[in-house]
Homo-oligomer: A and B are copies of this chain.
Amino acid sequence: MSLPPPAVPPAPPAPLALAAILRRAARPAAFDKDARIFDQDAAADSLHLVTAGVVRTVRLLPDGRRQVGGFYYPGETIGFETAATHAFSAEALGPCEVASVRRASLDALADPVVLGHALAEAMQRELARTQAHLLVLGRKSACEKVATFLKTLAQPGRGSPVPLPMGRQDIADHLGLTIETVSRMLTHLQGAEVVRFETCRNFQVTRWDALERLAA
């Protein structure tokens, strides 16, 4: 049972300027579990701010293989994937709320320079997240992948126990693994007393240093 990361989180996910702009611009719409918020290959003409619940981005290959791009928590924005069409579709993990704003109407919402910086900031964040994930997918073992994932989830303010709003299949498709391998690694990490699962949908980190080391 070692210390949590920094006693005070360095910054609560940093209030994004873009989130503030979007929140003012649109009333959130509600989505049910597994509802599609936007479709892959659809025109990418809006930005979407998650205001409640959690959203996953998903890319489906014609043969059924699935890649989960990421999980998005309240305050995070999705939808600037591609100029023309979305590379991923977005789906509600559970009941959630999303505020959507058309790109075309964006310019009228804020000073163009401020807006430009807000957009750049959000896109940089998204790019950094995606690039970090490249490393995980390309060069890490199954155990390291799962450890990295748990570490990321436990990072922010989300207290202890950390909720795990996504199912095993979503985790597997996020990490490029199978559901069985994810399950095995989770039990292995629990056996090594690195984390402890109370239910299969939330966990506590019991040895933070070990988790960091395993995440490599």
A contact set with B: CB distance below 8 Å: 59, 61-63, 65-67, 69, 80-83, 87-88, 112-113, 115-117, 119-121, 123-128, 130-135, 137-139, 173, 175-176, 216
Contacts and interface: CB of A to CB of B under 8 A. Distances in A.
Given A112-B113, A120-B123, A128-B82, A134 B135 contact: no
Given A63-B216, A69-B131, A133-B134, A121 B81 contact: no
Given A69-B131, A130-B130, A139-B65, A121 B83 contact: yes
Given A63-B216, A116-B119, A88 B125 contact: no
Contacts of A88: 131
7 contacts: A69-B131, A83-B125, A87-B128, A88-B131, A123-B127, A138-B176, A139-B176
Contacts of A138: 67, 137, 173, 175-176
Contacts of A128: 81-83, 87
B139 A87 contact: no
Contacts of A125: 83
Which of A88, A121, A130, A132 lies at the interface centre, i.e. has the most chain B CB atoms within 10 A of its CB?
A130
A87 B137 CA distance: 15
A124 B134 CA distance: 17
A212 to B, nearest CB: 12
Which of A66, A83, A124, A134 lies at the interface centre, i.e. has the most chain B CB atoms within 10 A of its CB?
A134
A124 B83 contact: yes
A20 B81 CA distance: 23
A26 B117 CA distance: 23
